[in-house]
Chains A and B, each alone.
Chain A
Amino acid sequence: MVETIKRLGGTTSSAVRRHRPDYQIVLYMGLLMLLGLIVMYAIGPQRAHVLNTSYGTDFYTATYFFTKQAISLGLALAVFIFISRLPYEWLHKYAKHIFLAGIGASVLLALAGWANLGIAYCSLGACRWFDLGPLGSIQPAEFLKFGLLLFVASFLAIRAKIGLINDWYKTLIPAGVIMAIVAFLVVGIQKDMGTGIAMVSIVGSMLLIAGLNMRTGAILLLVGVLSAVALIAIAPHRLDRVATFLAGDNASDSAATYHIKHAKIAIGSGGLLGVGIGNSVQATGYLPEAINDSVFAIMGETFGFIGLLVVLLLFSALLMRLLFTSDRLTGTFERLVVAGVFGWLAAHVVLNIAAMTGVFPLTGITLPLLSFGGTSMVFIAGALGLAFQLSAYTSHSVEERGAYESSRRGRGVGRTRYASRRSYR
């Protein structure tokens, strides 16, 4: 298969000449990162105080979270630049290896956790992180997600090219087996439902773009929902979260209820314009995970409805740029990869915000680019870096619909000047 990929990679990249990439991706990503940094700066002191009090130390300084977030962002930007420069053919070529490395890392984590090795960092019965001592910790699931993106994209690209995307034996069952293995590692062992859903979203987006017919899609959706129900039913905390969601405001006083209730209080008390930077009260310990999973709620309290509109607008714009890029890519692998990145980002954004606003059960998933946390930030930046690189290979030749002669936006350099004068509305 590697041979095939290589061949395909060779052909696809030559289809369109490299041109100026889509800097809007950088713009929206950068603005979101900046917003996240401002929030860290604003609630860092409260958060530090909460942690210092509950652990009885004075380890956390007022700028601890801001500094760490800035370092994470620096690292994420470095990875973004690196991936955007690293020839994607190389990633295409080694997609399987990267995926297998991700599987290997997850297996290693599972074994280390089972053997109680110090390198595996576990909490509440789930081992999700490798503890690298002073270097911090990394979450292999994020790496696996990235590997899955590349590997499934290349696999589906091959199948799509030979028109077998709807073939159960050649395509769907093998993909299902891959998903089952990944789900076992991530959802079963690491107990990370959020990442599991994100992976399903990645693969689902790619399948959809690859041309899955609706009937098969419906069957797969059913299988997916049934597996999700099974996975929820076997884990008490998931059951609790779903029960909380279904019970609404009448839910019993469990951790999930508390979390959702306080997320809504934070968002609701923010009002139209928010309480302002540094005035968040929910961040002083009421709202759990204030700087991680609940950062959207804190932003709602701080910046209000208007602020959250801006956040939603930025995410929407970024997602639309990804779709736009995927749309214009001529190579199947490339198109699928960007669609997968879209699925990845969309799953995180939608699941997180839906949970915080109380329209979907809590999944414990980060809000990309805004939440505090290194690994997720670095890999989403890597995925966006890949999409950014591929945006330099979009084609604008298919047909001419817009008539914005003067628009410089979306103008490629790979095709004729006339063809590049396209815009979108």
Chain B
Amino acid sequence: MFPQFQSHSRIRLLALAIMAIMAVFVMRLFYLQVIQHGTYVALADTEQVKRLKIPAQRGEIYMMDDGQPVKVVLNNTVYTVFVDPQYVDNKAAVIRTIRQVAGGNTVDNFAKLLDKTDTRYQIVARNVSRKQAELIKKRDLKGIGFQAVSERVYPEKSLGGQILGFVNWEGKGQYGIEGKFNDELKGTEGMLQSVTDVGNVPLTIGSHNVDIPAKNGKNVVLTVDRNIQAYSEQALKNGLKKLGAPYGSVLVMDPESGKVLAMANYPNYNPGAYNKVADAKAFNNDIISDPYEPGSVVKTFTVATGINTGTITPQATFNNTDYIQVEDRTITNATKGQTGRVTFDHAYTWSLNTGMVTIAQRLGGGSINSKARGVMYDYFHDRFRMGELTGIELAGEAAGILDKPNIGNGDEVRYSNMSFGQGMAPTMLQVGAAFSSVVNGGTYYTPTIIEGTISDDGTFTEAEQKPTDENVVSKSTSKQVQDMAVRARKAFYAGNDKKGYTIGGKTGTSQAIVNGKYTFDETTGTYIGFGGDSAPKYVIMVRASGPNQAIGGQDVIPIFTDISNWMIDYLKLEPKG
């Protein structure tokens, strides 16, 4: 072997050795690269190919502001700071740094968590801003890590809290818009499968790469006007304070479209601090989720039913004795003394229960028979849509109660009570939508709170028109009921209204049921009214109550008046000449 070497056998020995080693290398390489190739490719893939979830951005929520959408719920990226106690080498520096930079965001006794060296993951601070996180990162300390978390931000604090709802710690929407539209808002997570470097940074190498982009959630624009909402909340708060009442709600709607302009509840809460709310009742939007007996405001519907069926006219009369017998029950008026022959207009103004029962009786030709009850049900339920879900785009809507005629509770007594607002339980939103249809010329607009959506590039798309129901009452009926409501308001409470506008309304005082009997010791005060120029431009419904408090419809009128007068200015309505 190696004959080229002249003399030295030792040289041959070295040549032989090196050739033998090289031969071993070649065989080894052949084994690794050709025979075992598949195994090593698989090994390489397991560590190199990673699947990364691309989080979708949760849709943001807008309210209107004088016709323009403005953001009221935004996203913000914050960081959760964690430590790996096994990896921390300078404990004192870690504690000092976190205290210095993120002192307000630390979890309780975070310093002690660093001693848990049998664990590898301890959260020491939450909701740390990007700036703070970068400051901590700069210190170059071992064993500190960060996780980006998307957080909801509410620049308007508690404004419309019950409308918006909140996003819980799992990222799931709860209550309100967040709850109702959780799926639409959260979007769809994307997926990135890619060869990555050792730090999980995707590379453009290889054929395993899959890139499914995340679909961001829909941005929702509400019909709620930020200013009307803010003013309503303030007016409600002030009004309740004057009354000394703990609970109250205000609903403002556009009667000509069914759009909700404001939904204020008191007490309310800040969705950004939902975890600090002691009583979960505060999360509820009573306007849609708390059906109640609205009391005499329902007289508006009874009168409308009477007029529209041709059974009565406002100027038709009946004999008021302050008492009326229905089967074994005697129904009395709350306001007594308006006895004798009075018009139904008078009965509406003075809120006489006997007048309403009379209308109900006349619907049946003398008694609240099944025909009368059928007509009432047709109007109250089928036309005015009380006692069924409105389909409002908010979580937690209740259907309310409106008994069907002839079955169950739907007897004569029940329907006689319903004629003046007892024995039924619609929600405020149902009443507001029904009232709107009665005063707007007779068109029922399905109430809505969604104005539309805004795409990521800022394009606004209007929401689909919700179904409307024309001619639930005739234009003439509507006009007559409008006038009655204006007269009812003028008779007692119009003093503080802005002059030159059409403003009407109706009080309602509903007794609480204590020990199975209606009592006047605890009542809920309701007022519903409209305002506008030649036509109603807004409907406002106010409600206030408190345990053991007798709050009447007239008591909540100042809240209505306050908002109503402000609305005239805000909507820039022209006074009549």
Contacts and interface: CB of A to CB of B under 8 A. Distances in A.
B495 interface: no
Contacts of B199: 50, 53-54, 285
B4 A424 contact: yes
Given A279-B206, A316-B19, A308 B198 contact: no
Interface residues of A, number: 57
A270 B33 contact: yes
Nearest to A315: B22
A203 to B, nearest CB: 14
Residue from B10, B15, B36 having most chain A Cβ neighbours under 10 A: B10
B33 A300 contact: yes
B280 interface: no
A323 interface: yes
Contact of B33 (A304, A399, A401, A423): A304
Interface in A294-324: 300, 304-305, 308-309, 312, 315-316, 319-320, 323-324
Interface stretch (B40-48, B326-334, B438-446, B479-487): B40-48
B252 interface: no
Contact of A327 (B6, B26, B34, B43): B6
A425 B18 contact: no
B278 interface: no
Interface in B185-229: 195-199, 201, 203, 205-206
Nearest to B41: A269
A211 B44 contact: no
A305 B34 contact: yes
B26 to A, nearest CB: 6
A268 B33 contact: yes
Contact of B198 (A267, A286, A342, A424): A286
B536 to A, nearest CB: 65
Contacts of A266: 44
Given A281-B195, A284-B203, A271 B37 contact: yes
A323 B29 contact: no
Contacts of A271: 33-34, 37, 41
Contacts of A211: 10
Contacts of B21: 350, 354
A200 to B, nearest CB: 15
A20 to B, nearest CB: 18
B208 to A, nearest CB: 11
B48 A268 contact: no
B6 A328 contact: yes
B10 A208 contact: yes
B25 interface: yes
A358 B29 CA distance: 10
A308 to B, nearest CB: 5
B33 A320 contact: no
A327 B15 CA distance: 11
A264 B197 contact: no
Given A209-B11, A279-B206, A281-B205, A49 B6 contact: no
A335 to B, nearest CB: 8
Contacts of A359: 24-25, 28
Nearest to A306: B33
B41 A268 contact: yes
A305 B33 contact: yes
Nearest to B5: A327
Residue from A53, A205, A305, A358 having most chain B Cβ neighbours under 10 A: A305
A320 B16 CA distance: 10
A284 B22 contact: no
A61 B198 CA distance: 19
Given A284-B198, A305-B30, A327 B48 contact: no
Contacts of A328: 6
B29 A300 contact: yes
A272 B11 CA distance: 34
Contact of B26 (A279, A312, A350, A423): A312
B141 to A, nearest CB: 13
A346 B18 contact: yes
Interface string A386-425: 0000000000001101100000000000000000000111
B92 interface: no
Nearest to B11: A327
A308 B32 CA distance: 12
Contact of B14 (A300, A308, A315, A342): A342
A357 interface: yes
A60 to B, nearest CB: 14
Nearest to A345: B18
B517 interface: no
B335 interface: no
Given A211-B10, A305-B34, A327-B5, A286 B48 contact: yes
A268 B195 contact: no
A423 B3 CA distance: 10
Contacts of B201: 49, 53
A398 to B, nearest CB: 5
8 contacts: A49-B201, A267-B32, A269-B44, A271-B33, A286-B198, A320-B18, A350-B18, A354-B21
| Ranked 10 nearest A-B pairs via Cβ | A268-B40, A424-B4, A285-B198, A284-B197, A305-B33, A269-B44, A271-B37, A327-B11, A268-B32, A269-B40
Given A208-B13, A425-B3, 17 more contacts: A53-B201, A266-B44, A268-B37, A272-B34, A279-B206, A281-B203, A282-B44, A284-B197, A315-B22, A316-B22, A327-B5, A327-B8, A328-B6, A350-B21, A357-B32, A359-B25, A425-B4
